[in-house]
Amino acid sequence: MNGNWIEPERRSAGTERQTITAPICCTVSIRGRNEQGQRRGYARRRMTSLRVFAPFLPLAVLIGFACCPALAQTGPYPREFQFRERTSSGGEALKHVVYVPRNLQPGRKYPLAVYLHGTCTECVTHERILKESGLQWWHEYDRDVQQEPTFLFAPAGGTGGWSGPARRQAVFEIIDGLLQEFPIDPQRIYLMGFSMGGAGIWNYLQQRPGFFAAANPQAAAGGTLNPEALKNTPIWTTIGIDDSANNLEQLTANVSRIRAANGDPQGGATWVTGVNPRFTIFPSTDHGGVQEKTQQIPGLRDWFYAQSNNGNIPPNVRFVRPLPLDQEYTGPVAALVKATDPDGKIDRVEFCIGAKVLFVARQEPFQYTFDDLGPGIHTIAARAVDAGGKSRTAEITIRVGSKKE
């Protein structure tokens, strides 16, 4: 079928212009039985053609539009995004996007989330960086809603890495500039990055200890780390079990070293939730699958938004006993918890099952006996709260058998 086409122009937020193509009308012709009759009855047949096909023209138009591919989330882009480029004081030019949430309240400050992408030859334009799911996660993908109004910043770095001095300086100068330009809470700056971006996060945390409120490095071991520079920044790192053996082994060792600096000698066990850093290994997941799995972690946004580097470092808490070993406990189950606060004192430890607090211990030894655990699988928790009100929770899942007669 012959068709007439137009290419209407759409302008997205920032400077990007998009073109969409869609059919808007169809040319219909009916050939007469002979040329003489066609000449004499041209006008009459034209009107007849229009009368015959007119009812179907709107349908043809709608079908034409429906057959066009649906616009992805990146076109048109969420209107909150701004396209920018900045050259650092060291001469490093860096394209980046900035998401400015709507309906900001005067006098209030808001979090800033920084997303660093992985190695990507295409990630050198504003348009491409907006396709990164790790960035879209912060505004619920195509829903364009946020759990809490949050400024977003994502640079487009291609394959150049994030840890080199010039690139790092460029990123830091942009962050510092955003703090001056917008009502951003300097105590709530969050980092998220995948692979090359995760390596950049490990580097940035050590270059600016205490500057970032929380971080999620994904599928990145981090190289040789300084545990003392990292131990007090809330970190939740993730990796797939099918990532390279070297990457998995090195990340596990680094988690163990940071936890040891926080007083936990038990290594890089993933069941530990109350000692920084948290560590998740996804089953049946390779290097590239970590992004999607990380974005599906229940409560990850809540974890981010709960973090603030207001000068009070959260406590660390872990179970000494029981442990989630491959063994069966017999009730009653005696629990002993170790809780420490890096910059103060522990106010209390709450022993819980679910949301129910069963006992509050206010001095060492922090211990409690769970008397009513029947046969089956149970998750028990201990929440340590410091004198400044910050807390961490240790959870373990154990199997309880029947009492022996």
CB burial class (10 A; 0-12, 13-18, 19+) of residue 377? exposed
Give the pLDDT band (50/70/90) at residue 244.
very high
pLDDT of residue 405: 58
Cβ contacts of residue 288 below 8 Å, gap of 6+? none
pLDDT of residue 49: 41
**Distance between CA atoms of residues 40 and 328, nearest Å:** 98
Give the pLDDT band (50/70/90) at residue 28.
very low
CATH of 316-401, one of 2.60.40.10, 3.40.50.300, 3.90.1300.10, 1.20.59.10: 2.60.40.10
**Looking at the chain, how many residues does it have?**
405
Give the pLDDT band (50/70/90) at residue 44.
very low
pLDDT of residue 333: 95
Is residue 277 reached through a cis peptide bond, with omega within 30 degrees of 0 on the bond before it? yes
pLDDT of residue 377: 94
Measured in degrees and rounded to the nearest 5, phi and psi for residue 304 equal -55, -55
For domain 81-305, the CATH superfamily is: Alpha/Beta hydrolase fold, catalytic domain (3.40.50.1820)
pLDDT of residue 1: 35
* Spatial contact of 20 and 71, defined as CB atoms under 8 Å apart: yes
pTM of the model: 0.81
The pLDDT of 151-172, averaged and rounded, is 97
Cβ contacts of residue 312 below 8 Å, gap of 6+? 343, 344, 386, 388, 389, 390
Tokens 């992004």 identify what position?
Answer: 291
* Spatial contact of 111 and 148, defined as CB atoms under 8 Å apart: yes
Give the pLDDT band (50/70/90) at residue 54.
very low
Tokens 């929770």 identify what position?
Answer: 393
The answer on pLDDT for 56 being more than 90 is no
3-state secondary structure of 18: strand
pLDDT of residue 404: 65
The pLDDT of 250-259, averaged and rounded, is 98
Measured in degrees and rounded to the nearest 5, phi and psi for residue 294 equal -65, -45
Domain limits, CATH 3.40.50.1820, in the chain: 81-305
Tokens linked to 253: 């060792």
The pLDDT of 79-106, averaged and rounded, is 96
pLDDT of residue 66: 33
pLDDT of residue 194: 98
**Distance between CA atoms of residues 40 and 31, nearest Å:** 13
Closest CA to 162 of 120, 205, 204, 112: 204
pLDDT of residue 6: 27
Domain limits, CATH 2.60.40.10, in the chain: 316-401
Measured in degrees and rounded to the nearest 5, phi and psi for residue 63 equal -65, -40
Give the pLDDT band (50/70/90) at residue 402.
confident
pLDDT of residue 326: 77
Give the pLDDT band (50/70/90) at residue 57.
very low
For 357-382, how does the pLDDT look when each residue is reduced to its tens digit (9 = 90+)?
A: 999 999 999 999 999 999 999 999 99
* Spatial contact of 76 and 12, defined as CB atoms under 8 Å apart: yes
Least confident of 6-10, 42-46, 214-218, 387-391: 6-10
Give the pLDDT band (50/70/90) at residue 75.
low
How many separate helices (H) and strands (E) can be counted in the chain?
Answer: 11, 20
- Percent of the residues in the chain that have a pLDDT greater than 90, as a whole number: 78
> Average model confidence (pLDDT) for the chain?
85
Quick one: the chain helix, strand, coil %, rounded to 5?
Answer: 25, 30, 40
Q: Find the largest Cα–Cα distance for the chain.
A: 110
* Spatial contact of 259 and 277, defined as CB atoms under 8 Å apart: yes
- Percent of the residues in the chain that have a pLDDT greater than 70, as a whole number: 81
The pLDDT of 73-97, averaged and rounded, is 89
